[in-house]
Protein backbone atom coordinates (compact mmCIF):
# COMPACT_ATOMS: atom_id res chain seq x y z
CA UNK A 1 0.00 0.00 0.00
CA UNK A 2 1.45 3.35 -1.02
CA UNK A 3 0.73 6.21 1.32
CA UNK A 4 1.49 9.86 0.77
CA UNK A 5 1.71 12.15 3.79
CA UNK A 6 2.07 15.92 3.85
CA UNK A 7 4.27 16.87 6.80
CA UNK A 8 3.53 20.12 8.60
CA UNK A 9 5.94 21.94 10.88
CA UNK A 10 3.24 22.75 13.43
CA UNK A 11 2.64 19.14 14.37
CA UNK A 12 5.61 17.25 12.96
CA UNK A 13 6.19 15.28 16.17
CA UNK A 14 2.58 14.06 16.20
CA UNK A 15 2.78 13.12 12.54
CA UNK A 16 5.94 11.09 13.11
CA UNK A 17 4.30 9.43 16.10
CA UNK A 18 1.31 8.55 13.91
CA UNK A 19 3.51 7.11 11.15
CA UNK A 20 5.43 5.09 13.73
CA UNK A 21 2.17 3.71 15.13
CA UNK A 22 1.09 2.67 11.63
CA UNK A 23 4.27 0.58 11.56
CA UNK A 24 3.63 -0.85 15.02
CA UNK A 25 6.43 1.19 16.58
CA UNK A 26 6.82 3.90 19.18
CA UNK A 27 8.92 6.99 18.58
CA UNK A 28 11.32 5.62 21.20
CA UNK A 29 11.75 2.42 19.19
CA UNK A 30 12.19 4.42 15.98
CA UNK A 31 14.94 6.49 17.63
CA UNK A 32 16.64 3.29 18.86
CA UNK A 33 16.56 1.93 15.30
CA UNK A 34 17.96 5.20 13.91
CA UNK A 35 20.79 5.10 16.46
CA UNK A 36 21.54 1.49 15.61
CA UNK A 37 21.41 1.86 11.81
CA UNK A 38 23.26 5.18 11.62
CA UNK A 39 25.68 4.56 14.51
CA UNK A 40 24.38 7.43 16.62
CA UNK A 41 23.79 7.90 20.33
CA UNK A 42 21.16 10.64 20.45
CA UNK A 43 18.62 10.42 23.26
CA UNK A 44 14.85 10.46 22.97
CA UNK A 45 14.82 13.66 25.01
CA UNK A 46 17.15 15.26 22.48
CA UNK A 47 14.79 14.27 19.67
CA UNK A 48 11.77 15.60 21.57
CA UNK A 49 13.56 18.91 22.12
CA UNK A 50 14.37 19.17 18.42
CA UNK A 51 10.72 18.64 17.51
CA UNK A 52 9.52 21.12 20.13
CA UNK A 53 12.07 23.78 19.18
CA UNK A 54 11.69 23.07 15.45
CA UNK A 55 15.42 22.49 15.10
CA UNK A 56 15.38 19.01 13.62
CA UNK A 57 17.67 18.70 10.62
CA UNK A 58 16.45 17.42 7.30
CA UNK A 59 19.06 14.65 7.49
CA UNK A 60 17.63 13.53 10.85
CA UNK A 61 14.10 13.56 9.45
CA UNK A 62 15.26 11.49 6.46
CA UNK A 63 16.81 8.92 8.82
CA UNK A 64 13.58 8.67 10.82
CA UNK A 65 11.52 8.33 7.66
CA UNK A 66 13.92 5.67 6.39
CA UNK A 67 13.23 3.55 9.48
CA UNK A 68 9.50 4.04 8.85
CA UNK A 69 9.97 3.05 5.18
CA UNK A 70 9.08 6.47 3.76
CA UNK A 71 10.98 8.73 1.38
CA UNK A 72 11.11 12.51 1.55
CA UNK A 73 10.09 14.29 -1.64
CA UNK A 74 9.96 17.97 -2.44
CA UNK A 75 7.74 19.23 -5.21
CA UNK A 76 6.66 22.62 -6.40
CA UNK A 77 3.11 23.64 -5.49
Q: What is the Cα Rg of the chain in Å?
A: 12
Give me the pLDDT at residue 27, please: 94
Give me the pLDDT at residue 1, please: 52
Contact between residue 65 and residue 72 where contact means Cβ atoms under 8 Å apart: yes
Give the pLDDT confidence of 30-61 residue by residue, as tens digits.
Answer: 999 999 999 999 899 999 999 999 999 999 99
Tell me what the mean pLDDT of segment 8-37 comes to. 94
**Cα–Cα distance, 77 to 55 (Å, whole number):** 24
Identify which has the larger pLDDT, 68 or 5: 68
pTM: 0.89
Amino acid sequence: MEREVRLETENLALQIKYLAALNGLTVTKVKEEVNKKYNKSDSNRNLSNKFRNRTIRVSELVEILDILDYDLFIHKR
